[in-house]
Structure 1
Amino acid sequence: MEQRDVRGDAVMTRIGQAIMLLHAGDREEARNRFGTIWSEIGEYGDDLHRCTLAHYMADTQDDPGDELAWDLRALTAAEGLAERPAGDHRHDGRDRCDCHDGCDECRRGDACGAHGASSERPDASAVRTFLPSLHLNLAADYLKLQRFEAARLHLDRAWDAVGVLEDDGYGDRVRTAIGRMEQRMRGSAAGP
C-alpha cells in the first residue's frame, strides 16, 4: 500500500509502531496497542487509520472468526474512503479535517474546498491499491471457516482489483499471493 506522509500524524505513527511489534513476533503486545488505538479512533475515525489498524489487528487474532471480523472492518473503511467523491473531505466530529491540511474551512467545520473538486485524496488512491490484499485476506479468512462461496467471492474481487497494482515488489507479492490462494481454492473445491 502506498504510504501517505505520516509526519505529524501521531495515530499512524502509533499504528506503525504496533505493526513493528507484530512483525517482530510480539502479537500480544501489538494486539494490546491496536486495541488501545481502536478505542480512541473507533468506528467513525479516519478511514485510513481504521483500515490500516483493522487490517493488522486481524493478523493478531487467534480465532478465525475474530480475524474475519477485523478484516471486514478494514474492508469497510477502505471502501468508504475509496468510494468517497473527489473533493469530499469529511470531518470526524472532533473539529479535525480528515484531509490532513487543516484548512480554514475545515477548522470552521465548513465543507473543505481546499483541494478542488477534481482532486482525489491521496489516501483514497492508496486504499484502492490495498483492496486486492484486503479481499485476499477475506478469502483466506472464509476458507479457514470453510465458507467456500464467500471465499470464492472475495478471491474473485481480489482478481478484479489487481489492475490498480503497480508492476513493483508490492504488486508482484500481492498477485503471487492471489495466485497461491487460487490454487488453494481449487484444492479445497473438491471438498465441499
Structure 2
Amino acid sequence: MQPDRHQQGAAVEDSVLTRIGQAIMLHRAGDREEARNRLTELWDEIGPHGDAFHRCTLAHYMADTQDDPKDELDWDLKALAAAEGYVTERAADTGAALGATSVADGPGPRHPLIALRAFFPSLHLSLATDYAGLDRLADARAQLLRARASANALADGEYRQGLREAIERLESRIDGEAGRS
C-alpha cells in the first residue's frame, strides 16, 4: 500500500526537522562549522518560500553558529520574520476556517502555530542579546520588553521560569553596561 500525499508530506517535514536537530547536536558537540554547513545546505533546499516553521527553527539555530555578531543578528531577524509571517498566515487561515473561533481554540499543543508562539520569547531574547552585543542598548531593551510580554503569556512551568531568569540576567547586564557609559 502506497502512502498518501499527506503521509508523504509529513515524512518530508519530519526529515527536515530531523536534519535541523542533527545539525543542532553537532553544534552542541562543538562542531560549529559543520553545523553551519549543514544548516546552510538545508536553508538553500527550503528556500525563501519554504515552510515558515522550518525557516524559523533553522534560522534561530543558524544564528548560534555565526562568528560575526551582525550575521547572528541577521539570522535571528530572519527567524522572527518567519515566525511572525507564519502566525499571521495561520491566524487568518484558522479564523476563516473556524469562523469566530480564536486561534487558541484551534490546533493542539503539538501544532507548529502553538510551538512558534511558545518560541517568541526565545526569539526576542536572542535579538536582545544580539543588540546588546552590538552596543545597541535601546534596541536590546525593546526586545527584552517583547520577550517578557511573550513569556508572560506562557503557562507556568520550567520553560517560562528559565526564560524569565534569562531576561532578568540580560536586563541586569544591560543596566550595568549603561551605568558605565
Q: Give 1:139's match in structure 2, choosing from 128, 141, 145.
A: 128
Q: Is 1:12 paired with 2:17?
A: yes
Does residue 28 in structure 1 map to residue 17 in structure 2? Answer: no
Deviations 1:91-126 (A, max 9, x none): xxxxxxxxxxxxxxxxxxxxxx9x755434821111
Residues 86 and 156 of structure 1: CA distance in aligned 2, closer, same or farther (over 3 Å): closer
1:174 and 2:179 are equivalent in the alignment: no
Partner of residue 173, structure 2: 184
- Superposition TM-score, scaled by structure 1 size: 0.78
Gaps of 5+ in 1: 1-6, 90-112
* Contiguous gaps of at least 5 residues in structure 2: 1-9
Normalization by structure 2: what TM-score?
A: 0.82
- 1:74 is aligned to 2:79: yes
| Corresponding position of 1:108 | none
User: CA offsets, 1:146-185, max 9 Å, x none?
Assistant: 1111111111111111123232222221111011111111
Residues of 1 paired with 2:133 and 2:91: CA distance? 37
Q: How far apart, in 2, do the equivalents of 1:189 and 1:13 lie?
A: 41
Q: Distance in 1 between matches of 2:92 and 2:81?
A: 20
Is contact 2:129–2:140 with CA below 8 Å preserved after alignment? yes
Cα 1:189–1:48 shift into 2, 3 Å: same
Quick one: which of 130, 134, 140 aligns to 1:151? 140
Contact 2:90/2:113 (<8 A) preserved: no
CA–CA distance in structure 2, aligned partners of residues 48 and 17 of structure 1: 17
Find the aligned partners of 2:153 and 2:25 in 1 and give their Cα distance: 26
| Residue correspondences, number | 163
What SS does structure 1 have at the residue aligned with 2:89? coil
Q: Which has the higher contact order (CA 8 A, sep 6+)?
A: 1
Q: Tell me, in whole angstroms, the C-alpha distance in 2 between the residues paired with 1:82 and 1:128.
A: 8
Cα deviation 1:37-62 (Å, max 9, x = unaligned): 00011221111100110000000001
Residue type matched to 1:130 in 2?
F
Percent identity between the two aligned chains: 54
Alignment partner of 2:47 out of 42, 51, 55 = 42
Distance 1:182 1:161 in 2: 16
Q: CA deviation at 1:76?
A: 0.4
Alignment of 1:52 onto 2:57: yes
